Amino acid sequence: MTRLGPHPAARPAPPAAPGRRVLLAGAAGNLVEWYEFGVYGCLATVLAELFFTPAPQAGPAGAGPLLAVYASFAVAFFLRPAGALLFGRLGDRVGRRPTLILVVGLMTLATTLIGLLPTRATAGAAAPWLLTLLRALQGLSAGGEFGGAVALMTEQAPPGRRGRYGAWQSLTVALGLLAGAATAALLASVLSPRVLMAWGWRIPFLLALPLGLTALKLRRDLPRTPPPPPGPRPGPAFVTPPDATTGRAPAPGPRPGAGARATARTVLLGVGRIMGWSAAGYTFLVVLPSYLRATLGASLREALVATALANLGFAASILPAGILSDRVGRRPVMLGGALAVTLLALPLLHLLQNPAAPAAAKAAAVCGAGAAVGLLAGPGPAMLAEMFPAGVRCTGLGLAYALANAVFSGCAGLVITALTAGTGSGDVPAYYAAGACALSVPALAALRGDDHRRALR
């Protein structure tokens, strides 16, 4: 009797992980990472007093300790490209899942240890070095987080939904920053300044432990998937030997180093396309509380509330921007965001500097600034994923993102604080964000209009 049905070899492969599980697992670690960065940025003035001021002083720390905090902040960002290379190659060779498990474990460990660190009053000059060391470990792990998670989420996205799936990665950036800002604002509201300085500042960092363990479990539950085909590797030039029968040399094939050079050029182009996103995002979403407090004399509570509102506007625009980019393309949505920041950053800052401006107008302004950044961040992950083939996708998009963040995000607090102190101008944050977005415009204009419809390579 003949058995009807497909031949065993023709049976379909097991289905990929369900979309919801992929989204949760891919985005959860990113939320932990950006929650910590949000907390660190919002509590920068507190950390300056506790770790970088030799003798504790009343009131906000001066520019010197604050610059030291932002230098430690920048160290983590400058180690992110190294993490992107290290963990990106691991993700491209052994698979996305084990790499994402490793990086979220390292991030959780480092963040929890920050909450247990002795301050300068207890450990002396060793305290700032211990903090900087843990920041460096965070930088390495964060460098591998974005590339692996975005590659996983966009590769598993249904046709026509890469923008939506990739936007979830950016949404967890917003949710992480918002959670960090909200946690810091809540502590500043319910704890006295003395208690906050004594031990309350530790609470947000220690909360990363349960968050990180949850993300770790979500990623461990993902099914194993085979690694992608290997990408181009650099190598020396070679000469193909002639055919043994005809004596003629065959047509030359691609040089082994050509693929690596093309990947490097694509990485630099990716940096150009997201530099405005990086600079404006950190200016409005992370550096804002310290600027409002140190430059405009706002209270810690007022500064943290303003930052929470900016992050709320950011979060609200990300998913709509990603969904819209699946319909009209990445180029018009991201160009709109870059032009909005370029044209509106200075008027927005002048509104915040005006003591007579209504509080509602200032709240709407910071929400609008966050929403403009969301127009860049929503389509951004899918745009980067579409630039690289599968064999180098983790490394390529992770490195582009890490380099842009190292230069334009990690240095944002340092540059803005130093230039504001040196020039006495309160407009430095606006010039920084607007200038970077203006430089992104030509690179974004070069995007192909149909990239969102093409299959991933």
User: Using CA atoms, how far apart are residues 408 and 400, in angstroms rounded to an integer?
Assistant: 12
Number of structural domains found in the chain: 1
Q: Computed from CA positions of residues 391, 394, 395, 400, in that sequence, does the dihedral angle turn out positive or negative?
A: positive
The identity of residue 11, as a single letter, is R
Mean pLDDT of the region 5-18: 42
Q: So what's the pLDDT on residue 14?
A: 41
Are 37 and 405 contacting, i.e. CB atoms less than 8 angstroms apart?
Answer: no
Is 277 a member of any domain? yes
Asked, for residue 131, whether it belongs to a domain, the answer is: yes
pLDDT, averaged across the chain: 77
Residues 186 and 188: their CA atoms lie apart, in Å, by: 5
Q: DSSP strand E in 125-265: where?
A: none
The answer to whether residue 241 is domain-embedded is: no
Q: Any idea of the CA torsion for 444, 91, 453, 20, to the nearest 10 degrees?
A: -110
Confidence category of residue 228, pLDDT binned at 50, 70, 90:
low
Split at pLDDT 50, 70, 90, the class of 1 is very low
CATH of the domain at 121: 1.20.1250.20
138, 136, 141: which is closest to 111 by C-alpha? Answer: 138
* Residue 195 main-chain phi, psi, to 5 deg: -70, -40
pLDDT tops 60 at residue 17: no
For the residues 228-234, what does the mean pLDDT come to? 50
Q: Is 5 within the bounds of a domain?
A: no
Cβ-contact 96, 141 below 8 angstroms: no
pLDDT of residue 68: 65
126-155 vs 393-404: helix axis angle to the nearest 10?
A: 140
> 11 in a domain, yes or no?
no
Question: Is 134 exposed, middle or buried (CB count within 10 Å of its CB: 0-12, 13-18, 19+)?
Answer: buried
d(CA 17, CA 153): 10
pLDDT score, position 192:
85
Tokens of 152: 């996983």
CA atoms within 13 A on the CB side of 322: 25
Domain-embedded: residue 326: yes
| Over residues 301-318, mean pLDDT | 82
Choose between 58 and 304: higher pLDDT.
304
- Choose the most confident range, by mean pLDDT, from 197-211, 228-242, 258-272: 197-211
Is residue 441's pLDDT more than 90? yes
Q: How far is Cα 183 from Cα 111, in angstroms, rounded to an integer? A: 15
Share of the chain above pLDDT 90, in %: 14
* 380 dihedral zone (left: phi>0; alpha: psi -120 to 50; beta): alpha
More confident residue, 73 or 29: 29
Per-residue pLDDT reduced to its tens digit, 160-218: 888 888 888 888 877 887 788 788 878 888 888 888 888 888 998 898 898 888 888 88
* Residue 69: pLDDT band with limits 50, 70, 90: low
- Residue at token pair 């006295």: 192
Q: Does the residue 8 lie in any domain?
A: no
| pLDDT above 90 for 323 | yes
Range of the domain at 97: 17-223+259-452
Give the per-residue pLDDT at 341.
Answer: 92
Comparing 7-11, 257-261, 378-382, 451-455, the range with the smallest average pLDDT is 7-11
Residues 365-409: pLDDT tens digits?
888 888 999 999 999 998 998 888 878 888 888 889 888 888 887
Average of per-residue pLDDT across 53-60: 52
Mind listing the pLDDT tens digit for each residue in 327-347? 999 999 999 999 999 998 888
So what's the pLDDT on residue 250?
Answer: 44
- Residue 241 CA to residue 250 CA, distance in Å, equals 8
DSSP conformational letter for 449: T
Which pLDDT value is given to residue 246? Answer: 46
pLDDT for 101 beyond 70: yes
DSSP secondary structure of 200-232: ITHHHHHTHHHHHHHHHHHHHTSPP-PPPPP--
- Amino acid, single-letter form, for residue 102: L
Q: Does 4 reside within a domain?
A: no
The first and second tokens of residue 24, run together, are 């949760």
Coil vs helix vs strand at 161: coil
